[in-house]
Amino acid sequence: MAVCLDQRARDEHHPCSGGSGASAPSQSMAPQRARQELKLSPREFALAVELGEVATVPAARVGGRRRVPLTELTRLGAEPGFPEALRERLRLVGVREGAALLGIGQPRFTRLARAGCFGPVRCAVNRYRRLAWLYLAAELEEFAAWQPGLLHGALPRTVRELLAEGVDWRPRLWRGRRVAQLLGEAQDPWAVAAVHAAVLPPDVLQETVPSVRERLALAARRPALTATRPGSPSGAALAGVLTARSTEEVHWHRMSLTLVLAQARRRPPRLPGDAEGAGPGSTVQRTEQALLHDGDDQVPRPVVDPPPRQPPATGRDG
């Protein structure tokens, strides 16, 4: 029996690009109106888009918000039990509710989550400034049906050994979901490169992309992993889960970034200050000089992780 990494979290991310639907206003709807049509709260709608439950398409104008195809609204509205069935697929639970749903104690629930048996879809900072993970109730129910033997009795030896080493797959699985969504939304090679760059530690990013101008281009396209402001108290509490840590993760993103940059460089990056020209007083020139003078601490700190590999298989023991 394999250590139970959530299959969907590893390699069945549903990016919210949602296919090749048209983005013309006559064939799609603005997000706010689509949310109202689907009878979802703002939080539910945002989660539905992230999980691919509601597909979106690029806006007609560059920089516009992604839109929801009318065909998607028709499809969801025709589902049996709409909208309650859709809301149930989006229901999030914390440790207490999740443990109750699985019929186990909270300590065992946490151990299973740390071992990667199921992955969180949200991370938040609670009132005590501690990191809290949220899970899809539907995925927990799938896990219970798929691996009922892990709910009671002794855990497999390999799982126990991983936990004894302090392994925690929750941040990595969460980052994997978010990266997959952002890659699905990226519309050009520079945007794809920016997703991979966002998760690399600053020193690794500098080694991989020596050009200051290219790092500026990546920083300008850097996607947000969470809605939390980096400098806020909540942002500080989240900082530890936003950047790839393991050698394997870092290597995966570095290799992906190198490959996509080879394609992106065919069209040199355009920076916000380029319209002012490349003279000594331009925005780009001043920013480049500041980076060269002050070092790479000026480049925004990166934030995520690739779809992780499954840990080694193990047999169950008593």
Q: In a 3-state reduction of DSSP, which class is residue 131? A: strand
Q: What are the beta bridge partners of residue 134?
A: 122
Alpha helices in the chain (DSSP H): 7-11, 31-37, 42-51, 70-77, 84-89, 95-102, 106-114, 137-146, 157-164, 170-185, 189-198, 202-208, 212-220, 233-238, 247-264, 283-294
Let me know: does 199 contact 244? Beta carbons within 8 Å: yes
Distance CA 190, CA 64 (A): 18
Q: Given this model, what pLDDT does residue 315 score?
A: 41
Residue 53: CB atoms within 10 A of its CB come to 20
Select from 226, 222, 268 the least CA-distant residue to 124.
226
Tens digit of each residue's pLDDT (9 = 90 or more) over 216-260: 999 999 998 887 777 677 777 787 788 998 899 999 999 999 999
Q: Determine if the pTM surpasses 0.85.
A: no
**Token representation of residue 20:** 């090749």
Determine the distance from the C-alpha atom of residue 106 to the mean position of all C-alpha atoms in its chain, rounded to a whole number: 25
Residues 190, 186: Cα–Cα separation, whole Å: 8
Q: Which residue has the tokens 């394999």?
A: 2
- Kindly report, residue by residue over 52-96, the tens digit of the pLDDT: 999 999 988 766 789 999 999 999 999 999 999 999 999 999 999
Q: What pLDDT score does 165 carry?
A: 95
Q: Is the pLDDT of residue 155 over 60?
A: yes
Spatial distance between the Cα atoms of 258 and 247, rounded to a whole number of angstroms: 16
